[in-house]
Amino acid sequence: MIGLVMAGGKGSRMKTNEEKLLLKHIHPTILHVVFALQNSNCFSKIIAATSPNSPKTKEMLQNAGIETFETTGKGYVEDLNLILRSIKDDIFVVSGDLPLLDDVIVKKIVNSHHHDKIWTSYLVTRDFLISLGLKSDFSVIFQNKECHFTGVSIINANEINNLDSVEEIYHILNDKRIAFNLNTVEDYRLLGAS
């Protein structure tokens, strides 16, 4: 399985001049995510998807010895689809803005994954997000609950021929380590208070 860190976004909701993934919580957020994947020992390789939107992030990753995959940076879905057409393996996809991610939750997700599923995305419930003081703009109704995407998915890219016809399976995992996406200045302040 390959670990893929999505690290090419603009971070426009953060409203800061600094690249979002370079903001620090012990380590720069992007390195924290990479270390969690490395320390899990679940992956044959770790790749970071970068773009022209994040040149300093790309430089930091390369200096840390992490392989990068340059995307267009037009959007998360477009960038991910480009990568999925290039890699034929099981892929653990994670957003680079999860400052609480650790190797324990990564192992838990990988070990509980059903390999017969082509695309599994991990969700948290709205109520759980609210209990953490967080909010998200993107939701889906699953099991009669409003749920939000965490930025964590496991994809069997070997089985994908046409990205438009892939059935996405959802799994609810209310855990702050995957719920806490660093999207806004308010999120960063909340992280500092935790």
| All domains in the chain, ordered by first residue | 2-193 (3.90.550.10)
Task: Indicate whether 156 pLDDT > 60.
Answer: yes
- Please tell me the pTM assigned to this model: 0.88
Going by pLDDT thresholds of 50, 70 and 90, the confidence category of residue 24 is low
CA atoms of 75 and 77, how far apart (whole Å) = 6
Higher pLDDT, 115 or 89: 89
Task: Indicate whether 161 pLDDT > 70.
Answer: no
> Above pLDDT 70, what percent of the chain?
82
Lowest-confidence region among 38-52, 150-164, 176-190? 176-190
Residue 29, pLDDT score: 86
Residue 124, pLDDT score: 97
Residue 2, pLDDT score: 96
Q: What are phi and psi of 152, to 5 degrees?
A: -115, 125
Average pLDDT over residues 13-37: 72
Average pLDDT over residues 32-47: 97
Task: Indicate whether 14 pLDDT > 60.
Answer: no
Going by pLDDT thresholds of 50, 70 and 90, the confidence category of residue 8 is confident
SS (H, E, C) the chain: CEEEEECCCCCHHHCCCCCHHHCEECEEHHHHHHHHHHHHCCCCEEEEEECCCCHHHHHHHHHCCCEEEECCCCCHHHHHHHHHHHCCCEEEEEECCCCCCCHHHHHHHHHHCCCCCCEEEEEEEHHHHHHCCCCCCCEEEECCEEEEEEEEEEEEHHHCCCHHHCCEEEEECCCHHHHCCCCCHHHHHHHHHC
Query: 100, exposed or middle or buried, with CB in 10 Å at 0-12, 13-18, 19+?
Result: buried
- Note the Cα 174 to chain centre separation in Å: 15
Residue 21, pLDDT score: 61
